């Protein structure tokens, strides 16, 4: 799941969320915003049964995927679109 909240100025707070145990093990969101670096933005467990990570992003179009244990790649069905490179989100004036 992807939740977006406009911040003061032109930034958007984007929260990436998955169920606590699906998939099992650590999961990172990786994409063009972090150089596709695994572990840099790992989803953390929350009391509501989910795990999330939140990023503050400038306007633009971003490609991302989730990377789970064992090199398993996942796309988010709530992305603005999904193609062969992963999910894409469009923020701010780039919409």
Sorted by where each begins, the domain ranges of the chain are 2-94
The pLDDT, as a whole number, for residue 93 is 63
List, for the chain, all residue ranges whose pLDDT scores fall below the cut of 70.
93-95
pLDDT above 90 covers a percentage of the chain that reads 82
pTM for the model stands at 0.90
Query: H/E/C letters for each residue in the chain?
Result: CEEEEECCCCCEEEEEEEECCCCCCCEEEEEHHHCCCCCCCECEECCCCEEEEEEEECCEEEEEEEEECCCEEECCCCCCEEECCEEEEEEHHHC
The pLDDT, as a whole number, for residue 92 is 84
- CA-to-CA distance for 51 and 44, rounded, in angstroms? 5
User: Is the domain 2-94 a CATH 1.10.8.60 member?
Assistant: no
Strand pairing category for 86-91 and 81-83? antiparallel
């Amino acid at each position: 799941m992807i939740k977006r909240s406009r911040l003061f100025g032109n930034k958007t707070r984007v929260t990436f969320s998955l169920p606590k145990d699906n998939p099992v093990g650590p999961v990172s969101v990786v994409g063009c915003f972090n150089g596709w670096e695994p572990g840099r933005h790992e989803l953390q467990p929350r009391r509501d049964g989910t795990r999330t990570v939140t990023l503050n992003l400038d306007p633009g179009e971003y490609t991302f995927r989730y990377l789970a244990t064992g090199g398993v790649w996942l796309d988010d069905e709530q992305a603005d679109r999904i193609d062969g490179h992963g999910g894409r989100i469009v923020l701010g004036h780039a919409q």
